[in-house]
Amino acid sequence: MNSTPQAPHRARKRFGQNFLHDTRIIERIVAAIVPRAGQKLVEIGPGQGAITEPLLDSGAALLAIEIDRDLAAQLRQRFAHQPHFQLVEMDVLNFDFASLGTTPDHLRIL
């Protein structure tokens, strides 16, 4: 973890950002996803990583696509130690999902 405190990220309207903070809601979302070890997941707009962390804790392989460069930098630093975490910093509308080289039934997009 970073020992230097960071200023809280302010949601940017142009990206339609809303951040999850309620742990009960986060737990319910993750329970509904039912992530499994080795499963390939794509998280669109991981934001501050509220759902990202429990997904990675499940052992799933996670590709996160984040458009906000400030959040991407925070995510990169926070999850650098996670071997199954990959971050792409770009607009998901420009992402080539075919480049993942997997069939749709082997990939879950969140």
Segment 29-80, tens digit of pLDDT: 999 999 999 899 999 999 899 999 999 999 999 999 999 999 999 999 999 9
Question: Once rounded to an integer, what is the mean pLDDT over residues 86-109?
Answer: 86
Contact 64, 52 (CB under 8 A): yes
Q: Is the pLDDT of residue 20 over 80?
A: no
Q: Is residue 3 part of a domain?
A: no
- Model pTM? 0.80
**Which residue segment(s) compose the domain that 72 sits in?**
15-109
In the beta sheet, which residues pair with residue 87? Answer: 64
Alpha-carbon distance values, 70 to 50, 99, 110 (Å): 16, 25, 21
Q: Is 7 contained in some domain?
A: no
In angstroms and rounded to an integer, the radius of gyration of the C-alpha atoms of the chain is 14
Instruction: Name the average pLDDT for the chain.
Output: 85
Beta bridge partners of 63: 42, 86
Q: Does the pLDDT of residue 21 top 80, yes or no?
A: no
For the chain, the straight-line distance linking the first and the last C-alpha, in angstroms and rounded, comes to: 25
**Which CATH number characterizes residue 53's domain?**
3.40.50.150
Query: Is 6 a domain residue?
Result: no
- pLDDT value at position 9? 65
- The domain tally of the chain equals 1
Q: Does residue 5 belong to any structural domain of this protein?
A: no
